[in-house]
Structure 1
Amino acid sequence: MMQEVRWGDFNIVGAERRLLANALLDFSNQRFVLLSESCIPLFNFSTIYNYLINSTKTFVESYDLPGPVGRGRYSPRMRPLVRLSQWRKGSQWFQIDRPLATEIVSDQLYFPLFNKHCRNGCYGDEHYLPTFVSIKFSQRNSDRTLTWVDWSQGGPHPARFMRRNVTIEFLERLRNGTTCHYNGNTTNICYLFARKFMPQALDRLLRFAPKIMHFD
């Protein structure tokens, strides 16, 4: 049965759980990545696969954000299960392992609470997983996402990239332009994916991929 999913509605989280539940049916699946149609890979398949499968951490962005779009979305009715000091925000674009995916799908404690109280401008897809993972699995999580997004323009949606924005220099900066920690070491590969790339960018992406991403 088809179920409607709307941006900003908590039913997005329900859809993510259904996706994970279906993916978990294949016991060979050990890592789970949520992407959208506007996401692109920044490296070839083998690089992405090895980065994910060898990681000792999961990648769910989770941070404490004061102000109206962070702590301001918290409802006191979530106490005592979720306190304000435990409330977290983060990107919905996660990269997780099988144990965490199983915990998310089987959660019957936090999910109903968020479903009831994280509505009307709460944007549950930005708070449920970051808060749930921070409370229960913080030691196994990196608190960062592997999907690069540009929020510098402000507003409720990130920057969109068209054909003219796609250059070799731009893609190389996304691939190697920052530093972070991976398995206890410093690395300059902090993002494996990026968004939001529009369909008009596809021809340039396909043209540059063989050279900089080593696609065949």
Structure 2
Amino acid sequence: MEEGKDSTVLSRTSQSRVLPQRLLQLLVLFLVLCFAFFVVSVYTIRRFGVQSFVPAIRPTLQPCIREERNNLDSWIKPPSNLMHKMSDKELLWRASFMPRIKNYPFKRIPKIAFMFLTKGPLPLAPLWERFFKGHEGLYSIYFHSLPSFQADFPSSSVFYKRQIPSQVAEWGKMSMCDAERRLLANALLDISNEWFVLLSESCIPLYNFSIIYNYIKRSKYSFLGAFDDPGPHGRGRYSEKMLPEVNITQWRKGSQWFEINRKLALYIVEDMKFYPKFAEFCRPACYVDEHYFPTMLTIQAGKLLANRSITWVDWSRGGAHPATFGGADITEEFMKRIFEGHNCLYNDQPSSYCFLFARKFAPSALEPLFLLAPKFLGF
């Protein structure tokens, strides 16, 4: 037993001596490798220079460095992507920026912003494609749909990636005006947009692009109906709770389909005085989309309004909504009826050219409209 204990003690003693020797050998080997690496590095640097290593490192660092923009590009170039993450409050604040100096320090070609307020698809898009063709640089397109709608226009389409962040808009409620303000605010982010036309998916142009562009460009006024209706559907919708911001003599009614200039668009997106009153006290049967913009703009800038719409509709069938026209309705006689028998003022002078757009057209109207467009619409 004693001999066994002695052998065990000797074995443990020899193992304890071997372990430090191995650690010492590993340490020496590590130091030798470090010295060798140092010698090779010094030799390489002396032979090839330090600069040879810099290009290999620089590309990995460049993406982390962003150059500060010191020019106007971020202000004068329209957003490359209309889909953003701004809230309505942030968007309206950003869109309210305006230059105080009227003369632009760069070449600016004024454009018309065509803003489509839709539920989803644009069934008459092929007709609009033909209308816009060849006039790039003179227009911008925006469309607001139900949030669930995913547009699938091809990259060759003028509507490709022109959908803005949207929310549900209900007829006759403030959410409809919110959608229109949202369209205006997104369009105002493009400094070249000078005029703003609100359209629906059932609208068509009545003339070619050049005629419509020049008609709007040369007008001294913006086209928004704002009339004093003494009846139950006008003043009858007024509430004294609108005081003191709006009194009954200022109460106006008009079609929601408008064309306005940049100054009036800014009035709309920056408004925080009238909006709360209309949101709280103009609810069905007070249809806010018929009263908010006409009343507010009459108070703010009534002298800039032509007090008429340039979008033709047919109310002859009666009811709460204008007539809708399908494929069977689109005949030469029908097209003549749209253009004939109109009288209005254009730049304070009598004119028979009163409407630039028309509604409401069903998807089935596309084919006959396409066939009659060269003869009646000019494109």
TM-score by structure 1 length?
Answer: 0.95
Per-residue CA shift, 1:153-210, capped at 9, x if unaligned? 2221111111122122322332343111111222111000111111111111000001
Q: Determine the structure 2 residue equivalent to 1:62.
A: 226
Q: Which has the larger radius of gyration?
A: 2
Q: Determine the structure 1 residue equivalent to 2:240.
A: 76
Higher relative contact order (CA 8 A, sep 6+): 1
* Separation in 2, partners of 1:125, 1:22: 19
Q: 1:164 aligns with which of 328, 331, 342?
A: 328
* Separation in 1, partners of 2:355, 2:340: 8
Check whether the contact 2:166–2:179 (CA below 8 A) recurs between aligned residues.
no
Corresponding position: 1:131 with 2:295: yes
Extract structure 1 runs of 4+ deviating beyond 3 A.
Answer: none
CA shift for structure 1 position 66: 2.0
CA shift for structure 1 position 116: 1.3
Per-residue CA shift, 1:49-106, capped at 9, x if unaligned? 1111111100110111122211111111001211111111100000001111011111
Deviating more after overlay: 87-96 vs 115-124: 115-124
- Structure 1: state its 5+ residue gaps: none
Deviating more after overlay: 169-178 vs 46-55: 169-178
Give the counterpart letter for 1:27 in structure 2. Answer: I
Q: Determine the structure 2 residue equivalent to 1:106.
A: 270
Give the counterpart letter for 1:48 in structure 2. Answer: I
Give the counterpart letter for 1:90 in structure 2. Answer: G
Corresponding position: 1:34 with 2:198: yes
Deviating more after overlay: 22-31 vs 165-174: 165-174
Check whether the contact 1:60–1:95 (CA below 8 A) recurs between aligned residues.
yes
**How many residue pairs end up in the alignment?**
215
* Separation in 2, partners of 1:73, 1:155: 18
Corresponding position: 1:43 with 2:207: yes
Give the counterpart letter for 1:129 in structure 2. Answer: F
TM-score by structure 2 length?
Answer: 0.55
**Counterpart secondary structure, 1:173:** helix
* Separation in 1, partners of 2:261, 2:213: 12
Q: Determine the structure 1 residue equivalent to 2:310.
A: 146
